[in-house]
Amino acid sequence: TARVPRPQTERWRWIALALAALVPRVVGAILRQPWHDEYFTAWASKLPLADLVAALRLDSGPPLPYALVKLLSLSGLSALAAARAIAVGAGTAAVLLGAAAAGRTFGARAGWWTGAFLAVHPLAVAWSCEGRAYSLMLLAVAWAWERLGAAATSRHGAVGLGAAVALGCWCHGLGLL
């Protein structure tokens, strides 16, 4: 089947939703003072891989967030800036995936309201400003919901669903739930 083109107004809605999600997260990531767990993430991400895994005995989290920070730090960003950039990107993507999932499941209007509320929800914004695994977990949940909806309607999405579950498991201890 051919892809149905989206109306121009819908494209602008997605851009507006992305900006509504991105702006408070960027502002928060710049203005909020780091807390001790973020300093731990920054410190641990600088360790050699073997030492990183050993250091995680001091924390409850799986290694993926630390490895992502380590990789992004190779671009020249400080470890704390890299951790927060990952959080901002994951949080913004979670808003868009949550909106898409709600739209697929409950209709377009529910999708836009879900996206709008999630874009400015205080906890979702806070999690998406901190250089920890919370926004990655939020992304994993939104992605899994979106892929479940895709699988239910088109029998596609199983690989994405598996990847979303793996992201949840590799980024946060609660991912197993």
pLDDT value of position 54: 83
Confidence grade of residue 174 (pLDDT, cut at 50, 70, 90): low
pLDDT at 138 over 90: yes
| pLDDT attached to residue 62 | 80
Look at the block and give the residue holding tokens 């990847």. Answer: 163
Q: For residues 115 and 126, what is the distance between their CA atoms, to the nearest angstrom?
A: 16
More confident residue, 113 or 6: 113
Sign of CA dihedral 27, 28, 31, 34: negative
Entry field: residues in the chain: 177
Instruction: Tell me what pLDDT residue 25 has.
Output: 98
pLDDT surpassing 90 at residue 84: yes
24-62 pLDDT, tens digit per residue, is: 999 999 999 998 889 988 998 888 888 888 888 776 678
SS3 103: helix
Q: What pLDDT score was predicted for residue 33?
A: 93
Short-list 31, 25, 9, 36, CA closest to 139: 25
- Whether the predicted pLDDT of 176 surpasses 70: no
Q: State the Cα–Cα distance between residues 142 and 145, nearest whole angstrom.
A: 5
Dist CA 11 CA 17 (whole Å):
10
